[in-house]
Structure 1
């Protein structure tokens, strides 16, 4: 079928050779490694514990890996836009986790006599409304971009929709339980040390 009145116009041609693809892959890996390292250092410095930083990054890795899995399942192209979206998910996830950890740090001082598990639980309840409202706002914006943003924003919005949900999930059900488990084991170690100290003193 021919359309003489509407000739085809080539706007541009792009080629991605194996060398370029390999370069982009390496740069992506470096970007994520640098981001993870910087986040560990920041959170460790902020909360004076390297464990909190490691736990935060574990939550981020959880979000990114699952988001990437959904991208592969949807057979979407993994390009610069997808990488930017995954890094955005990482930043969003760490922000949500830091809010919870910051409230936990405050409650550890205010509720010093409470059990560590109760402190974590109270902290989650205190930030839950804020987390839901913020996440719901981002989710609505991401859905708007997904349905009305056009093909250019489609992959970015798709990853953000998934990442927004995962960010809330990982903060409450991954990072908080890991820190809680660390607190329980730390308390048990301290109790063991105290008991042994009492036995030796006797």
Structure 2
């Protein structure tokens, strides 16, 4: 309150007095209490958790659990890095940020599946090369695609960050952080975690699927 008057109303009246010809009106007003804030945090947590669980199930069915584990660890890395840097920059973790995190999850898992699919194809074509070397070859084969698609997306989000305002600016910043983290995790985390799970042996999908 400002002198007993709600802040939104007081601000509107001040602007109306300063710019009488502008026709300024109060279009709407929302008050978010602590309980609603807690509800939003809970819903955000469950939405991200359910997204990760759904991806875990899908990749397990489509590939194997070892592949799914590598992808989920990489996605968790993306979320934590993005949230950490976003918080360090003193940005508010709002519903816009949650929407951005879900977007990053979808974008990053797509890149990871592209690499995993190439690994599976190379396994069908080459039964002799050690699995670790085969994974490294598959990553190199898809590296240019990963970098180019991420770079073009960064150009778009960079424009939004520079010229957008308010929530758009926050969304763009969150996307930029997530894209960079996603490129790193796709190449350097997902496959190594999967390799650690199999511990030098080849998964059983080489001749199937």
TM-score by length of 1: 0.86
Q: 1:87 matched to which residue of 2?
A: 102
RMSD of aligned residue pairs (Cα, Å): 1.8
Q: 1:26 matched to which residue of 2?
A: 42
Distance of 1:2 and 1:132 partners within structure 2: 48
Structure number with the higher helix fraction is 1
Deviations 1:130-173 (A, max 9, x none): 11110001111110000012223011000110111111100111
**What 5-or-longer segments of structure 1 have no aligned partner?**
188-202
Counting only pairs closer than 5 Å after superposition, residues 58-137 of structure 1 correspond to structure 2 as 58-137=73-152
**Distance apart, 1:70 and its partner CA:** 0.9
1:76 aligned counterpart, secondary structure = coil
Counting only pairs closer than 5 Å after superposition, residues 130-169 of structure 1 correspond to structure 2 as 130-169=145-184
Question: Are the equivalent residues in 2 in contact too, given 1:81–1:156 (CA < 8 A)?
Answer: yes
Tell me: higher relative CO, structure 1 or 2? Use CA pairs within 8 A at least 6 residues apart: 2
User: Structure 1 residues 84 and 115 mapped into 2: Cα distance closer, same or farther (>3 Å)?
Assistant: same
Distance of 1:21 and 1:51 partners within structure 2: 37
Distance of 2:19 and 2:100 partners within structure 1: 36
User: Structure 1 residues 6 and 90 mapped into 2: Cα distance closer, same or farther (>3 Å)?
Assistant: same
Question: Are the equivalent residues in 1 in contact too, given 2:123–2:134 (CA < 8 A)?
Answer: yes
Q: 1:196 matched to which residue of 2?
A: none
User: Structure 1 residues 18 and 103 mapped into 2: Cα distance closer, same or farther (>3 Å)?
Assistant: same
**What 5-or-longer segments of structure 2 have no aligned partner?**
1-13, 203-209
User: Structure 1 residues 81 and 115 mapped into 2: Cα distance closer, same or farther (>3 Å)?
Assistant: same
